[in-house]
Structure 1
Amino acid sequence: MTPPTTRTWARRGRTPTVRVRGRSRRRLSIAALACYKPGQPSRLIYRPSTDARPDGRKSFAWTDYRDLIQDAHQQLGGPIVLVWDNLNTHLAAGMRRYIADRDWLTVYQLPPYAPDLNPVEGIWSILRRTTTANRAFTDPDHLVTAVRQGLRRLQYRHHVLDGCLIGTGLTPAPP
């Protein structure tokens, strides 16, 4: 809920100021899958979650990631090769059992700290620079609505999603 800042233009001597009534410790967690298949447009599948969850948990549990992968499998209609980082919930015992029981799911782990190899990090960067930049959100619902709108806009910009993958260097640039 702390407003991010970026650059803006103003008349000389008149620095724009945004007053924020107070900081909030509320947070929004988002899990996303950037989906790529040769000959098909890129896809973005995501799930936001606020910290106001019934179980009191403030971040995603391995079961939330399991549900996201299951939904992606149904939407994409085929096997999934999942490449992800070493987040502790990705390495949980329940998640390892879930992966082992699914023949349509193959998982590769990125090196311990390699955000430059994760195309979803590029999506978060774009979201911070466009949708949430220079905005003061009035409440958590306002933040969730803005983030959903920004991600929905990105879903239809396949060239931007492709650019996030090309930016990792894991695939050659198109000719």
Structure 2
Amino acid sequence: MSLNQETKIKNIWYFKGREPLIEAKRKGRNQSFYGALNLKNGKETAITVKRQNSKASIGFLKKLGETYHNRKIFLIWDNASWHKSKLIKAFLKTTKQFTLMNFPPYTPEFNPQEQIWKALRQNVTHNRFEKDFDVLIKDCLKYLNRNNFKSIKFESLFGRD
């Protein structure tokens, strides 16, 4: 997920013929997040990264490995090009901890992590402007790492009770 700090113009009411002038300042800052949901216990593991790429993905896999104390991890993730790169394949040859699989292309509705990103936006970032972008980033991480998420949509799609 990528978070940016900029003015977002939403629907507003105005008199016909008198369209309001709204000053919008674009901020040059953005922040990327990686996250994974443990479907057994609802625990989210999330980190921030400068960019989403193969190196960041490997860093996230290492974080997951540490979090789960070198236990076997079965991870299903989206079809981002960097998830299927030569660097990822080379990393996987160095460890037997991970089994990786991709969701079908263009099916975010199957990915429970997308529901987490949606909840994050609704509960933390929507209708909020934070002058100090670092505060917003910290609030996002706090929300992700402190909440216990239940993956109802994923369970209903795949028949888990």
1:75 corresponds to 2:67: yes
Q: Which structure is richer in relative contact order (CA contacts within 8 A, separation 6 or more)?
A: 1
Taking only the aligned residue pairs, the percentage that are identical comes to 21
Q: What is the rounded CA distance, in whole Å, between the counterparts of 1:35 and 1:101 in structure 2? A: 23
Alpha-carbon distance between aligned partners in 2 of 1:127 and 1:164, rounded to the nearest angstrom: 16
Structure 1 residues 119 and 98, CA, compared in 2 at 3 Å: closer, same or farther? Answer: same
TM-superposition CA deviations, 1:17-56 (whole Å, max 9, x none):
xx8762213211000011223xxx2221111135xxxxxx
Give 5+ residue unaligned stretches, structure 2.
Answer: 12-21
Match of 1:137 in 2: 130
Q: Compute the TM-score of the two structures, normalised by the length of structure 1.
A: 0.72
Determine if the alignment matches structure 1 residue 26 to structure 2 residue 29.
yes
Counterpart amino acid of residue 38 in structure 2: C
Residues 96-151 of structure 1: CA distance to partner in whole angstroms, max 9, x if unpaired? 11123322211111112110111110001001111111101103212212212221
Cα separation, 1, equivalents of 2:105 and 2:56: 22
Counterpart of 2:57 (choices 53, 58, 65) is: 65
Residue 47 (str. 1) matches residue 39 (str. 2): no
- The alignment status of 1:162 with 2:158, answered yes or no, reads no
Distance change (3 Å), C-alpha of 1:171 and 1:67 = farther
The secondary structure found in structure 1 opposite 2:151 is: helix
Change (3 A) 1:147 1:70: same
- Quote the RMSD (CA, aligned, Å): 2.4
Q: How far did 1:162 drift?
A: 3.0
Count of residue pairs the alignment pairs up: 146
Selected match of 1:2 from 1, 6, 11: 6
Task: Check the 8 A contact 1:115/1:121 in 2, yes or no.
Answer: yes
Which residue, 117, 141, 147 being the options, matches 2:140? 147
Consecutive unaligned residues of structure 1, counting only runs of 5 or more, are 8-18, 51-58
Aligned partner of residue 45 in structure 1, secondary structure = strand
Name the structure with the higher strand share: 2
> What is the TM-score with the length of structure 2 in the denominator?
0.78
Q: Cα offset for 1:165? A: 3.2
Alpha-carbon distance change, 129 to 47 in structure 1, aligned in 2, over 3 angstroms: same
